[in-house]
Structure 1
Amino acid sequence: MALRLEAVVFDVADATAVAAFWAGLLDREVLTEPGGALVPGDKTQVGLRFLTSDTLQVGPRQLHLHLTSTSLEHQQRTVETALRLGGRHIDVGQGPDDKFVVLADPGGNELCVIEPGNNYLAGTGYLGEVTCDGTRDVGLFWRDALGWPLVLDNNEQTAVQSPLGGTKISWDSWSGSPIQPKNARNRQRFDLVTADPTSETERLVSLGATRLADRADRIEMADPNSNEFGLHTA
């Protein structure tokens, strides 16, 4: 497949601070970029890109990240490390019996530290999942766009994963309820790279994407749920 998911993008108030948090938590490097910073991934772990923005969207988040644990001690170390690096506990309605821990990074982006023994995330690596608000149709779109197999298809829940394994990407319309209406550009979105943006843009449009704008450094598009994503040359 000529298309590759390079990173999940987050608009934040301070890209340097949030990138440092994630680099410290995931034991990765930080690459400084114009207007932000990249915490690169690899063939099985998705990268994270942070852009400094003063027009942050106010409203429900579009996605959050799941970190895996190999033991209860590992889970606790991850939580302690996140808090030391500037994260904080948040309440999203989790119950006292839930075994996962919900945190926010210094930019307010939600992450869950999943308990050990979670079979669904077994073998995904430390950054186990990017879980998104979306319909089944958008999950099928990204299956075809990325060429990743569908590893979950249950009612309105879908997930894809690279043939090489690693981080899963999932979509859930939250028990069949409509996705949240958009009143601004998503502050969380995907960045894709390709050697042939012209052909890939045409292919993505044929799959149901919308071409929004041509920028100097990228083509801006939207998936069938109107979630923006960027396409640029590798």
Structure 2
Amino acid sequence: MATRLVQINMKALDDAALGRFWAEALGWGIDSEAPGVTNLEPVGFVYPDPAAVCIDIIARPEPKTVKNRVHLDLATTSTAHQAELVARLKDLGATLADVGQGDVPWTVMADPEGNEFCVLEPRPVYGDTGLIAAVVVDSTDPREMARFWGEAMDWTVHEVADDFASLRSAAGVGPYLEFVRTPDTKSGWNRVHLDVSPYRGDDLAAEEARLRALGAADPGIDQSGISWRILTDPEGNEFCLLTPR
């Protein structure tokens, strides 16, 4: 048994407006499975597929108050492409952001609801990922996060160090999942989180038990009205274990 990262879940005051921004930014299709839910995936994509990590945007009334612990890194192919992408994203409503990054070759931006993301300088490692280079998670212990997520999912661990760890789908396609050491600690509910799914035919309860044995925990909220499970990883980051697909 194993899970795989299938999407990120992002909260928004206006899911439709934020969905339009990210659909135009990524060149993806946009849909809605229910009021207050906007679904984004590549045009022609058959969900789930490791070639892409999709985005679900969910309407919530709480405003963003702190820096997100999960964000997207966007890939570029040249310095000219980086500049062009930054300019295009500004035209769509993104702004430059300062999260204390200092003088770095990448550009930190925020979407129209203030969610941070990075437009990277050209890096060969992301040459085949598509526009989303990586889903990045702030971490106090990247080694432990690589241990947990490497066992939780059937993704391959590519790099592990004290300050950085990365994983990618076993098929070698799509974005990376990266853990970067940061000094800040988690504060409140994560506005952006990971959604993972077991494979078709797997048992949700059995997979939940396996993840708990690896170090996942209960966030302590009422889950009686949902068909999926909400858990936390060893650093307290919420994630959803979806029904098998």
TM-score (norm: length of structure 1): 0.89
Is 2:127 the counterpart of 1:119? no
Corresponding residue for 1:204? 211
Equivalent residues of 2:64, 2:114 under 8 A apart:
no
Secondary structure of the equivalent of 1:210? coil
State the Cα distance separating 1:57 from its structure 2 match.
5.0
State the Cα distance separating 1:95 from its structure 2 match.
3.6
Please show how residues 1-234 of structure 1 align to structure 2 within 5 Å.
2-34=2-34, 35-40=36-41, 42-96=49-103, 98-116=104-122, 118-134=123-139, 135=141, 136-165=143-172, 166-174=174-182, 177=183, 179-182=184-187, 184-194=188-198, 195=200, 196-212=203-219, 213-214=222-223, 215-233=225-243, 234=245
Secondary structure of the equivalent of 2:170? coil
Secondary structure of the equivalent of 1:30? strand
State the Cα distance separating 1:137 from its structure 2 match.
0.9
TM-score (norm: length of structure 2): 0.85
Equivalent residues of 1:192, 1:229 under 8 A apart:
yes
For structure 2, the 5+ residue unaligned runs are 43-48
Deviates more, 1:211-220 or 1:27-36: 211-220
State the Cα distance separating 1:139 from its structure 2 match.
2.3
Moved over 6 A (4+): none
Cα separation, partners in 2 of 1:27 and 1:150, compared to 1, 3 Å? same
Secondary structure of the equivalent of 2:242? strand
Name the amino acid aligned to 1:37.
Answer: T
Distance 1:11 1:156 in 2: 28
Distance 2:61 2:98 in 1: 25
Name the amino acid aligned to 2:206.
Answer: S
For structure 1, the 5+ residue unaligned runs are none
Distance 1:24 1:133 in 2: 26
Deviates more, 1:120-129 or 1:77-86: 120-129
C-alpha RMSD of the superposition: 1.9
Percent identity, please. Answer: 30
Distance 1:107 1:60 in 2: 12
State the Cα distance separating 1:94 from its structure 2 match.
3.5
Distance 1:156 1:94 in 2: 16
Distance 2:226 2:102 in 1: 47
